[in-house]
Amino acid sequence: MIDSRTLVDDEKALVSRRIFIDNEIYEQELERIFARCWLYLGHESQVSNPGDFVSAYMGEDPVLVVRDSRGNVNAFLNTCRHRGMRVCRADQGNAAAFTCTYHGWTYGNDGKLVGVPGYKEYYYEELDMEQWGLVPVAQVSSYKGLIFGTFDANAPSLVEYLGDMAWYMDFLFDRTEEGVEILGGVHKWIIPCNWKFAADNFAGDNYHFGVTHISGLKVGFLRLGQAKTLQTTPGDGHGIIARLNPNVDERWPAEQWPEANAYMRTVEEEKERRLGSKVKDIDPGVGTVFPNFSLHSSPSIRVWHPRGPDKTEVWSWCFVDKTAPAGVKDAMRLNMLRTFSMGGIFEQDDGENWDRCTASTRGFVGRRYEFNYQLGLGHERRHEEFPGQVADGPTEMSQRGFYRRWAEIMRAED
């Protein structure tokens, strides 16, 4: 086992480059991070009827999330108990049962093995079907419509795991009575980068924006406006970047998005009624739930699936208020596509950095030199209104929290 203390120096805010490229560390991550933490699986709006299912991944394990005929949402390893074939190869749909396309074992939408070709003639009715159902994910739970799962039966509850992060998530997912829904299907793309470059950036990199995304800013594609950002670190590895004193006209300019502008004004009122007057002060816009679920007010949610130390498969969805008018949903979808999606202007900028950062870390000598996470070190503070720690201006406070948590979990025996 690798001792993560040698890889993350919390006091000096230095992180070994090895954690972004080393295969042995990656294997330990699959066991200690991805087989233990709560991971995002899908949204309740995707499985609202009995038999509805969506595909997901937990680390490199394919998972099937399905509402059974009795109405319970379960998650199972999406791998046949006979020889490992995926029992469901669609991204989403509705099914009473899943038949493996290799030898035909069939599982009910509650995961039970219900059909085996040749059960009588060739298995002589000796196969114990009770024992050979799909492997369930140990715990499945949802928060404001977002479904998460963990392979660890002893993991704390999802609400406990999210901690103060939930307070910030409510601004996006609980601002209206009906909550949000997923619009359309999933977008998937592969970036040749370590998954942590992406999760770290969304957790709190408010330092890169004016450099990485300068071309988009220069052509007026996005106006940063007057709003100041505040970085907040709710703890437990999660991170959020928020705008202070949010202004609908800056976020959704009326001349570009008239319908969305008008709608967001009414939502501000509803949000205030539901969440309190704090919504006037702060607007959480981008963040990461440790380890690999990120959110963005573009609006997009995404999972950075690990695919080896130097590859990430992004799964991204557009989410919208369920009760928003069709024109507003369309405006949100277009804004997301243009900014943060596989063809989005800012997504392209970011992905190229993470790709090159990973590639240059592969070198044998370069790998000996740590990354510097000292930006704003020691200048964190508590806020009387917002939970967690906060910092003004660009800081790497949340990334430090992310790697602190990463190291803790990597060295914890259970």
Annotated catalytic residue: which of 68, 110, 164, 205?
Answer: 205
Question: Is 66 in contact with 99 (CB distance < 8 Å)?
Answer: no
Q: 229-251 as b/e, with b when 16 or more CB fall inside 10 Å?
A: bbbbbbbbbbbbbbbeebebeeb
Residues 334-353 that bind Fe ion (CB under 5 A): 350
Residue 352's SS3 state is helix
> Distance between alpha carbon 59 and the CA centroid of its chain, in Å?
12
Residue with the shortest CB distance to Fe ion: 350
Dihedral, CA of residue 270, residue 276, residue 278 and residue 283, to nearest 10: -30
CA distance 312 to 195: 5
By beta-carbon proximity to ligand FES, the closer residue of 107 and 373 is: 107
388-407 mask for ligand FES (x: CB under 6 A)? --------------------
Closest CA to 324 of 183, 165, 140: 183
Other CB atoms within 10 Å distance of the CB of residue 18:
17
By beta-carbon proximity to ligand FES, the closer residue of 85 and 155 is: 85
Q: Which helix (H) or strand (E) holds 328?
A: helix 326-339
Residue 200 site contact among Fe ion, ligand FES, none (CB < 5 to 8 Å, cut-off depends on kind): none
Residue 85 site contact among ligand FES, Fe ion, none (CB < 5 to 8 Å, cut-off depends on kind): ligand FES
Residue 100 site contact among ligand FES, Fe ion, none (CB < 5 to 8 Å, cut-off depends on kind): ligand FES
Residue 273 site contact among Fe ion, ligand FES, none (CB < 5 to 8 Å, cut-off depends on kind): none
Contact flag: residue 26 with ligand FES (CB under 6 A): no
Question: Is 20 in contact with 356 (CB distance < 8 Å)?
Answer: no
Residues 350-409 that bind Fe ion (CB under 5 A): 350
Residue 104 site contact among ligand FES, Fe ion, none (CB < 5 to 8 Å, cut-off depends on kind): ligand FES
Residue 164 site contact among ligand FES, Fe ion, none (CB < 5 to 8 Å, cut-off depends on kind): none
Residues 102-121 that bind ligand FES (CB under 6 A): 102-105
Residues 61-90 that bind ligand FES (CB under 6 A): 80, 82-83, 85
By beta-carbon proximity to Fe ion, the closer residue of 197 and 371 is: 197
Q: Which tokens belong to 92?
A: 């989403």
CA distance 290 to 161: 9
Residue count at the site for Fe ion (CB under 5 A)? Answer: 1
Smallest gap, in angstroms, from Cβ of residue 82 to ligand FES? Answer: 3
Residue 350 site contact among ligand FES, Fe ion, none (CB < 5 to 8 Å, cut-off depends on kind): Fe ion
Smallest gap, in angstroms, from Cβ of residue 212 to Fe ion? Answer: 5
By beta-carbon proximity to ligand FES, the closer residue of 107 and 315 is: 107
By beta-carbon proximity to ligand FES, the closer residue of 121 and 384 is: 121
Residue 389's SS3 state is strand
Contact flag: residue 100 with ligand FES (CB under 6 A): yes
Q: Which tokens belong to 409?
A: 């979990």
Annotated catalytic residue: which of 213, 238, 296, 305?
Answer: 213
Residues 238-297 that bind ligand FES (CB under 6 A): none
Q: 64-103 as b/e, with b when 16 or more CB fall inside 10 Å?
A: bbbbbeeeebbbbbbbbbbeeebbbeeebeebeebbbeee
Contact flag: residue 200 with Fe ion (CB under 5 A): no
Residue 317 site contact among Fe ion, ligand FES, none (CB < 5 to 8 Å, cut-off depends on kind): none
CA distance 377 to 172: 29
Smallest gap, in angstroms, from Cβ of residue 95 to ligand FES? Answer: 16
Q: Is 208 part of the annotated catalytic residue set? A: yes
Q: Is 213 part of the annotated catalytic residue set? A: yes
Q: Which of 24-32, 95-103, 173-181, 237-245 is the region at the interface with ligand FES (rule: CB under 6 A)?
A: 95-103
Q: How many residues does the chain have?
A: 414
Smallest gap, in angstroms, from Cβ of residue 80 to ligand FES? Answer: 3
Residue count at the site for ligand FES (CB under 6 A)? Answer: 9
Q: Which tokens belong to 398?
A: 């949340």
Q: Cα separations (Å) of 332 from 182, 288, 335, 374?
A: 12, 21, 5, 36
- The DSSP secondary structure of 131-164, one letter per residue, reads GGSPPBPSEEEEETTEEEEES-TTSPPHHHHHTT
Catalytic residues: 103, 205, 208, 213, 350
* Residue ranges that bind Fe ion, judged by CB under 5 A: 350
* Residue ranges that bind ligand FES, judged by CB under 6 A: 80, 82-83, 85, 100, 102-105
